[in-house]
Amino acid sequence: MVLSLYIIYFHQSKHAVNALASHADEKKLLTELTGNTLIVYWYLLRKKQNPVGVREVQRAMGFSSSSSAEYHLQKLTDLGLIHKDQFGNYKLKENIRVGLMKPFLFVGGTAFPRHLIYSIVTSLTILGFVILFYQAMSLILLAALSPGILAAAIFWYETAVVWRSIPSKLIGSKDSQKRSKV
């Protein structure tokens, strides 16, 4: 009995320590993974598991020198998010979601706001309902649909807000890459 209580206590305290450690790691990542370092990390996420070289990152990000690209790649390596292979190329090691990246889902190297999925599903459900019950549409059915319509509107609004929160350089806009030379 005492042993089982100790095991439960140890197990819970271990999770509490892990939670504190992960919280501390997340705070460190939030402070370190900003600006151009975040943009380079986002680029590596878009490249998926394809290794990239310093010059490729320099050209893709519009940096004026390869040392800027190397600095940001080294910073990501120090954070444990990427690793350098024997050929000098960098590859994604860990896919994390902190700060600006939390509301996004990466599919095939493309980032989508999570709310986009909710928006589409809710809108299609409402549309399907209207198509199926078009003949029997009444004020009562419209009143029953109103919470769903409101939810869809909120999801679409949140999707737009999140999408607008992305710096244009993260999206891959060529104009933004020409504007900022680091």
Cα separation, 121 vs 8, whole angstroms: 41
Cα separation, 151 vs 158, whole angstroms: 10
Within 8 A by CB and 6+ apart from 64, the residues are 181, 182
Q: How many other C-beta atoms can be found within 10 angstroms of the C-beta atom of residue 55?
A: 12
Please say whether the beta carbons of 44 and 90 come within 8 A. Answer: yes
Residue-wise pLDDT tens digits, 44-72? 888 777 888 889 988 888 888 888 889 98
End-to-end, the C-alpha distance of the chain in Å comes to 63
DSSP letters for 24-75: HHHHHHHHHS-HHHHHHHHHHHHTTT--B-HHHHHHHHT-SSHHHHHHHHHH
Residue 112 corresponds to which tokens in the numbers above? 């989508």
pLDDT tens digits, the chain, 182 residues: what are they?
A: 444 433 443 444 344 333 334 555 767 777 777 788 888 888 888 877 788 888 998 888 888 888 888 998 888 888 888 888 888 888 887 677 666 777 787 777 677 888 899 999 999 999 999 999 888 888 888 898 999 999 999 999 999 998 887 766 555 544 334 434 44
> So where are the chain's domains?
1-31
Please say whether the beta carbons of 91 and 48 come within 8 A. Answer: no
